[in-house]
Structure 1
Amino acid sequence: MNAKNPLIDQWHRNRGLTIDSWRAIERPSSRPLARLDELCAALKELHDGGAAVTVLPDFDMDGISAGALGRAGLAMLGFDVRLYHPDATRGYGFGAWDIDRIAERFPDTAAILTCDVGITCHEGVAAARARGWKTLVTDHHTQLGPLGADIIVDPCATGESYEHPSICGAHVLWMVLDRYAELYDPERRRYLFALRALAALGTVGDQMDMSGENRQLMRDGLQVLRVNHDNPAVYATTGCREFDATMTGLAALTRCLADHRELDSADGIDEQLVGFRIAPMCNAPKRMGEPVGEVFDLFADPGGAHRRAEWLHDVNMRRKRAVAGYVAQLRVDEQPYAPNLYLTDAPLGIIGLIATKVLADTGMPVLVANRDLMRGSGRAPEWYDAIDTLNPLGHDLAGHQHAFGFTTDESKLRALADDIARTAADHRPAGDDAATGEDRAAILLDTRGDLGMPFTAADRRMFVEFPAALRHYAPFGPGWPEPDVEVVFHADDIHDMRTMGADGQHLKIRLDEGLDLVCWNQSMPAGDGPWAVRGSLSNNEWRGTVTPQLQGTVRTL
C-alpha cells in the first residue's frame, strides 16, 4: 500500500498495513444472520393479518436509533406499528412491568419486536408470551442462557455463526427490515436505504468495531445525513408520516449543531461529529435524569423537532459541565483504589463518561463506582476484555468488553482493584508506554530526525494534504483508529509561543517548520526540552490562508 503522502506511508509501515490487511478490514460477513428469513416470515404473517406490532427498544443511542428505525421502517412497509418508550430510570432491559405498560398503552398489541434489548430479558419475554403475544427478539448482546422468545435474531445468540458479531442493535434491525423488503415488498426497499443513517448513529454510539459491514454502513449513513442536512425534502416527503417524521428529526439534529456553530457545512458530518456531538446529545437526557421519551418524540413529531433538538443541546451542555466538575473532584479526592478503581458521588448516568475521561488520561482499564450505591461503569482499552477477564474472578460486570456496567460491594473493592491491576499488567501489549499505557504514535516526526521522520518548512505541503489523504481510509473508530501524530521539537524550533482563551488556559506553539501545535487547557511544561505534542493533525483556514495544526497533548521528553 504505497501512498503519495509521506505521512500516510509512515502510518502504513508503522502499523504493518498491506493490501491484504486492508481487504480483511473491509470484508463483510459472508453469511446472513441465522433465522433472518424465519423472522421475516413471521412479520409477513403479522402484516397480512393486520396485527399491531409494538417496537420495544433500549434507551441509549443505539436503542433510540433502533426504535426510530423500527417504527419508520415498519410503517413504510405497511405495518400497524407502535413504539414503546422505555423508562431509563428502571435500568437496562425490560420486565413484566414494561409488558403491563405496553398492554395499557397499546391494548391491541399482538406482537412485540425488540431491538437492542431482549436477549437477557427472561421475565419480560415470559410476560409477553403469557399474554399470547408473538415475541420477536432482535438484539446484539450476548445470550447467557435459554430464552423463551418465539424467534431470536442476534449475532451473539447461542449457536450463531455470523462472522462479524460487532454490529449494533439498530444495524441488526435494519438487516431484518431490508431482508423483509427484499422478500415481500421490493418496491419499497429503496426507501429503507435512508434508515441506514440511524444504524450508523447506533454503530458509533455503541462503539462497535469499525470493520466489516460497519464500514460501508457508516459511509452510506453519513452520506444520507449530509444530503438530509442540506435538503430534507429528499427523504422526508415520501408520504409515510412515520418515515418522514424520522428524517425530519435527523435533519433537526444536524441543523441545531449548525445553528450553534458546531457544524460548518454538510461536509463536516462524519463519524467524529456523530461520536462527539450527535450521540452525546441523544444520550444526555438519560444521563441527566430527563425524560428519554423526548428523544424518541424528536423522530415522531416534525412540528416539534427543532424545539426538541435545541432542548437536547441544552441538556447536553449541562451534562458536559457536570462531567467536568466530577472529573475535577475525582482528581482531588482521596482515592485508595486508584489508578484502576475510583469512587465518586456522581449520578450513575454520567459515571461512564467519567470513566472514559480517566481511560483517555491513563490508557489503562478503569472502573468508577458511585460510593453509596456501589454501582458504576467501566472502560477498557481494546487489548483488555474486561468482562471475560474479571467475571471469572468473581466480579459482576455486564455490557460490552470495553464499555460496561458493574456492581460490587465495599468488601470487594480492594480485590477488584488488585485484580484489574494484575490482569492489566498481564494483558498489556509489548511495547506499550509504561507511564501512559499507550503504544507509540502511528506517525512520529522529529525536527532533528533523532526519534522520528525529520521534516522542515519545505514539507509544509505534506501536512496540508494529509487530512484529505487520510479521509480515503475513513471511517475510523474502534478496531480501526484514526492514526495519531506525534511531533518532537526543540527550543530553537519555536517561532512563536502564546496562550489563548479568556484566562490564558490554552497553549499555541508555532514552529519554524510552519506547523502550529495547539494544546487545549494546558501550559508549556517546564524544562529545556525536547518536547512532544501528540494528537490529531488537521488544517486551520483563516481568511484564505491554510495552516496545518496538530491539536493534542504536550509533554517533556
Structure 2
Amino acid sequence: MEKWFVTMKKADFNGIAARYHISPILARLIRNRDVVEDAQIEKYLNGTLSDLHDGMQMKDMDRAVEILREKIGKHARIRVIGDYDIDGVNASYILQDGLSGLGADVDTDIPDRIRDGFGLNRMLIDKALEDGIDTIITCDNGIAARDEISYGKEQGLTIIVTDHHEIPYLETEEGRQYQLPPADAVVDPHRPDCGYPFSGLCGAAVAYKLVEALYRAMEADLSRIGRLMEHVAIATVGDVMDLCGENRIFVKAGLEMLKHTQNEGLKALIECTGVPVERLSAYHIGFVLGPCINASGRLDTAKRALALLNAKDPEEAARLAEELKELNDSRKELTEQGVERAVEMIEQSSLKEDRVLVVYLPDCHESIAGIIAGRIRERYYRPVFVLTSAEEGVKGSGRSIENYHMFEEMCRCRELFTKFGGHKLAAGLSMKEEHVDEFRRRINELATLTEEDLTEKVSIDMQLPIAYLSQKLVEELERLEPFGKGNTKPLFAEKNLRVISPRILGKNQNVLKFQVEDARGLRMDAVYFGDVRACMEYMGQKKRMSFTYYPTVNEYMGRRSLQITVVNYR
C-alpha cells in the first residue's frame, strides 16, 4: 500500500512570488524541489547557457586537452570507444563530430552488448592496435576498466577516459580506497579529487565539456559545436539523470534546438515516430525517441543508432529511423513476455518473501534485463536484479529503490562477480552460473531494508481544490519544465471528490475517462492511464474518492478545456 504525504517545506511564498512575478503556488512548488536561495531560484527559472560551469574545472581536463591538441597536430589516429546505450551513442557522436571539426583523424567503435559486454575490453584494444590506432578516448565507460587500460598502456597506447560512473573502490581499515584506472587522463566528475561544482552529468555532457574545452584551447569556432547540445539533452533524459543544476540548462536548451534540428537522422526519427515537433518535450525523449535509439544496442548493434546520427542523406536517414522503430517494437514485445515470466516466477516461489528480488530468466534476451528489472521494481517496489544466460556464465541488470544504494551493496559481495558497475539506482553485472543462488542469499542477508523502506511513498506538492485550477495556472506550470527525475511534474491532491460516469476508452482500452465533482458541485473532466480496470472496479465500490493529479488542458476539435490527469487514487 502506498503512503501519501504532503511536502510541507516552509518559505515566504508570497515574498518569492512578488520578487519573481510568479504565483504563490509556483513559489511553493519551486521550494519543494529544494531550490531555496535567490540565486538558485533565478537560475532555475531563467538559467541560460552562460550559467554553465567551465569544463576546465574538472580534474585532468587540462591534461586531456593538452594530449588531444598534440595528437591532432601530429595527425595521430584517434579512436573513440563509447557504450551501446543512448548516453554512450550520443557521447561517441559528440566526440567524433567535435574532433573531426578540428581536423582530427578520428573514428569510433562501440562494443557489442552480447559479444563484448559493457565498456572497454582486450578485444577492442587489440582491434585498435591492429588498426594502427595511437590514442583511445572512452566515453560513458572506462572508469572501471583498470586491467584493460593497464594492458593498453603496456602495448603503447595513449588512453583518455571520460566517464560519469561512480569510481570503483575497496573498503579498507583506513576507509575507502578509490581505484582509478592508469590512463593518461581520467575525466570523471565523480572523482573524489575533482573540484567540479556539479557531479550529476551524463557521459555525453562530460564528452561535450571536453570538446568545448578543446575548442577554446585551440581558439576554434565555438558556434560549430553549439548544436551538439541537442545530443547532450537526449543523453541526459535518456540516461535518467537528475534534471537539476546544469542538466536542466542542457535539456532546456537542447529541446529548443531539437525542434529545429539540422541532424537528418534525428529529423527522420522524430517524423517516423510521430512526435509533435512544436510540443516536443523531455517526455518524448524518455518514452519515444530514446527507446528507439537504445533498441539498436539491445537487439542489434548500437552502431546502427550512431549511423542514424551520422546520416547525411534524408532517404538513408528515413530508412535507418524506420529500422530503429521496428527494433523497438519487437523489444517491447520481448519485454512484455519477460515481465510475465518474471511475475509468474516470483508469485509461485519463495522469491516473493525476499527484500531484494533476484530473478533468473535464462532464456531472456540479456539486453532487456534492465527494462524488465525496472518494471518488476515498479510492481513490487523492491530492488530487483534480473539475470540471464550469457555466452560465458550469467549477465544481469539491477534497478533499485530510493533507500537502497545498489552499487554500494554490490561492492560488499564483489567476489561473486566477474565484472560489475553502476550507480545508486541501477547496476550491471556478470557472474558464473553456479554463483546465482549464493548471490540471491548474500544480497538478501546484507540488506538492511525495513518495511518502511519497502513502502512506496507518494510525495504530494500540495492539496489543491479543483476550484483553484485555471488554464493560466497550467501555462505557468510550464515554467518548471523540463520534468523528469530530480524535477518531477507537480503533483496535487484533493479528497472527497464524487466520481461521475466513468468509462474506458481508446483502441487499446487503456484510458479511463470520468468527471469529478467537489462539495460545491463544481465538475471537471478527468483521465487516468494506469490499471484502468482495477480503478473502474474500485470506483464502483466508493461514493467519494481521493486523487493525486496534475492539471492539463485538453484540446479537441479546436476547443480547449481544463481537465485533471489522475496519478494515484484511494
Pairs within 5 Å for 1:164-183: 164-183=198-217
**Match of residue 273 from structure 2:** 257
- Pick one of 352, 355, 359 that aligns with 2:370: 352
- Is 1:162 aligned to 2:167, yes or no? no
Task: Report deviation, 1:53.
Answer: 1.2
Task: Report deviation, 1:379.
Answer: 1.7
RMSD: 2.8
d(CA) in 2 for partners of 1:503, 1:38: 55
Pairs within 5 Å for 1:16-27: 18-20=36-38, 22=41
Q: Do the aligned partners of residues 313 and 543 (structure 1) sit closer, same or farther apart at CA in structure 2, a change above 3 Å counting?
A: same
Q: Do the aligned partners of residues 414 and 41 (structure 1) sit closer, same or farther apart at CA in structure 2, a change above 3 Å counting?
A: closer
**Match of residue 6 from structure 2:** none
**Match of residue 439 from structure 1:** 458
d(CA) in 1 for partners of 2:465, 2:549: 18
- 3-state SS in 2 of match to 1:302: coil
**Match of residue 124 from structure 1:** 148
- 3-state SS in 2 of match to 1:299: helix
The answer to whether the 8 A contact 2:140-2:202 is kept is: yes
**Match of residue 321 from structure 1:** 333
Report Cα offsets for 1:26-71 as digits up to 9, x if no partner.
Answer: 7765771112122111111111112221111111111100111111
d(CA) in 2 for partners of 1:488, 1:324: 35
The answer to whether the 8 A contact 1:57-1:67 is kept is: yes
The answer to whether the 8 A contact 1:5-1:465 is kept is: no
**Match of residue 94 from structure 2:** 69
Q: Do the aligned partners of residues 60 and 502 (structure 1) sit closer, same or farther apart at CA in structure 2, a change above 3 Å counting?
A: closer
The answer to whether the 8 A contact 1:508-1:519 is kept is: no
Q: Do the aligned partners of residues 94 and 315 (structure 1) sit closer, same or farther apart at CA in structure 2, a change above 3 Å counting?
A: same
**Match of residue 450 from structure 1:** none
- Pick one of 135, 146, 152 that aligns with 2:186: 152
- Pick one of 518, 532, 549 that aligns with 1:522: 532
Q: Do the aligned partners of residues 154 and 16 (structure 1) sit closer, same or farther apart at CA in structure 2, a change above 3 Å counting?
A: closer
- Pick one of 133, 157, 168 that aligns with 1:133: 157
**Match of residue 404 from structure 2:** 384
**Match of residue 422 from structure 2:** 399
**Match of residue 542 from structure 1:** 556
Equivalent pairs counted in the alignment come to 508
- 3-state SS in 2 of match to 1:141: coil
Q: Do the aligned partners of residues 163 and 474 (structure 1) sit closer, same or farther apart at CA in structure 2, a change above 3 Å counting?
A: same
- Pick one of 287, 291, 294 that aligns with 2:301: 291
- Is 1:271 aligned to 2:287, yes or no? no
TM-score (norm 1): 0.83
**Match of residue 474 from structure 1:** 481
**Residue type of the partner of 2:559?**
T
Extract unaligned runs of 5+ from structure 2.
1-15, 169-178, 518-522
The answer to whether the 8 A contact 2:504-2:532 is kept is: no
User: Mean Cα displacement is larger for which, 46-55 or 405-414?
Assistant: 405-414
The answer to whether the 8 A contact 1:363-1:438 is kept is: no
- 3-state SS in 1 of match to 2:161: strand
Extract unaligned runs of 5+ from structure 1.
233-246, 429-433, 445-452
**Match of residue 551 from structure 1:** 565
- 3-state SS in 1 of match to 2:449: helix
d(CA) in 1 for partners of 2:303, 2:73: 30
The answer to whether the 8 A contact 1:335-1:343 is kept is: no
TM-score (norm 2): 0.81
User: Mean Cα displacement is larger for which, 216-225 or 120-129?
Assistant: 120-129
**Residue type of the partner of 1:132?**
G
Report Cα offsets for 1:476-522 as digits up to 9, x if no partner.
Answer: 332222222344344xx333321113464542112242232223441
**Residue type of the partner of 1:295?**
A
User: Mean Cα displacement is larger for which, 30-39 or 290-299?
Assistant: 30-39
- Pick one of 71, 76, 88 that aligns with 1:51: 76
**Match of residue 455 from structure 1:** 466
Q: Do the aligned partners of residues 400 and 495 (structure 1) sit closer, same or farther apart at CA in structure 2, a change above 3 Å counting?
A: same
**Match of residue 113 from structure 1:** 137
- 3-state SS in 2 of match to 1:532: strand
**Match of residue 237 from structure 1:** none
The answer to whether the 8 A contact 1:534-1:552 is kept is: yes
Task: Report deviation, 1:4.
Answer: 5.2
- Pick one of 193, 200, 204 that aligns with 2:226: 193
**Match of residue 441 from structure 2:** 414
User: Mean Cα displacement is larger for which, 268-277 or 156-165?
Assistant: 156-165
- Is 1:223 aligned to 2:223, yes or no? no
**Match of residue 369 from structure 1:** 387
By relative contact order (CA 8 Å, sep 6+), the higher-ranking structure is 2
d(CA) in 2 for partners of 1:215, 1:401: 20
**Match of residue 176 from structure 2:** none
